[in-house]
Amino acid sequence: MIVLIAKYHVKPGNVAAVLGHLREMSPKVAASEPGCRQYQVAQSNDNENLLVLVEHYVDEAALAAHREMPHFKDIIEGKVVPLLDKREREILTLQIG
């Protein structure tokens, strides 16, 4: 299983809007991406403007497909990314869990 950990550094004042967009994203991923087995979003307790997404994909193809979905382009690229100062991505392989 591939694990994507994405850190979204949100422009101050926009975290509620970004969370709203991600709440719209989550059911679309669940409904149309069988290769995505987990889509979690957490907010740092030390920095309210830092969101961390922990996503699981069955393989590289499922991760690549995620980035080509209309909801990824509309919601993430179209609405979320303009509200971020910075995005960091780390790709890992699930070993336990």
Within 37-96, the residues that bind a copy of itself by CB under 8 A are 38-46, 51-52, 54, 90-96
Q: How far is CA 1 from CA 13, 14, 26, 89, in A?
A: 35, 32, 19, 16
Q: Is 31 in the site for a copy of itself (CB under 8 A)?
A: no
- For a copy of itself, give the closer residue by CB, 68 or 90: 90
Q: Give the nearest distance from C-beta 77 to a copy of itself in angstroms.
A: 18
Distance separating alpha carbons of residues 6 and 37, to the nearest angstrom: 16
Distance separating alpha carbons of residues 66 and 82, to the nearest angstrom: 19
- From the list 16-24, 62-70, 76-84, the region that binds a copy of itself by CB under 8 A is 16-24
Beta bridge partners of 9: 50, 86
The residues that touch a copy of itself, with contacts defined as CB under 8 A, are 3, 5, 19, 22-23, 26, 38-46, 51-52, 54, 90-97
